[in-house]
Structure 1
Amino acid sequence: MAAVFGWYGPLIDLSKAPSHVGDYVQLLVFVHKSTPVQYKLSKKGGSGSGEMVRMDVQVGDDTRRYFPVSIWQKQLGSKIVAGDIIFLQNVKVARFRDVIEVRTDHCSLIQSLVRSDELLVSKGIDEAMKDCRIGITAKNKLHKVIEWLQRAGLASHDVELNSDQVFLQFFYCTIAFGLWWK
């Protein structure tokens, strides 16, 4: 049985995040890149095996081009694809020293709204948004983000490797290092 969560906090622009430190918010953002950065090694599998514990994601919207997000759940991290526009629900704004970031929590959800390949082939904003099942406020924000991407030319350029590609590179480097280290 799937758990059902309510929404905690408002849908905000990234530029407003500093005024929401400690609060739950909703974000509608473009994913620039995602990088797995922390793993829990498995005792059974030996060197090179384990599971992702944290993924760092660089996102942006029409109010702030780059903003950090930490994904702490494996199932959520697997939904992050560079070049997509995603809806982050029930995420918490946090401050660490001088850095403001957003972190997922036990009640966080991620919904992919527009895939990068749809942005490249769509003829207009309405076509890119046609299958999105979100409220009016979120649709207005999505419209702004797509316009921003089109103006900035980011839909086809400023995207790095997706998380699966980075994971495979990490995995192969770990194996190579493990074999070399022995």
Structure 2
Amino acid sequence: GSGELRLVDGGGRCAGRVEVKHKGEWGSVCSYDFDWDHRGAGVVCRQLGCGAVARASPYAPFGQGKGRIWLHPFCQGAETTLQECLHFGWGKHFCDHDRDVGVTCTEALELRLAAGRGPCEGRVEVKLRGQWGTVVDDSWDMEDAEVVCQQMGCGSAAGAYQGNEFGQGDGPINLAFINCDGTEKALWDC
């Protein structure tokens, strides 16, 4: 069950390094970049009840695990649990901790509009790893703004602004170069 899977060092239960429990011991999951994508990460997010995948990253984005590497999985994407994905066997792997995989699920992300004249206007900010940061995009347009407005429950977009129309954010840049067609339900679906 999901009790045998967790995400650690990501600032919340829906983002972090993927770890699985086997024989009472927690261990990491490693993979090569071409094998770790939205399929495997999608299984993890679903298994934990954390929504869809916002980002799937190999190369230990949340730091390297210290103990065992339990799994080197190959997922199709339809599996109910990560443990169901094809793998070489528990503790058998052809990658090291520098390829410990990480996942950020959509439930770990929050969206807000800052420095505007109300909750439906302002600088687009995204919360990632517990920290609010800005979105940088040279091609930010009405389609992108439309998705944000709909996601925030603010109706249709009335304007899309580039540059520092609402002042500069002081947090990190948490998202960059987004291209929406205007029909997506959330910014992370673009």
**Normalised-by-shorter TM-score class:** under 0.3
Task: Indicate the structure (1 or 2) with the bigger Cα radius of gyration.
Answer: 2
Taking structure 1 as the reference length, the TM-score comes to 0.24
Query: Whose helix fraction is larger, Structure 1's or Structure 2's?
Result: 1
Taking structure 2 as the reference length, the TM-score comes to 0.23
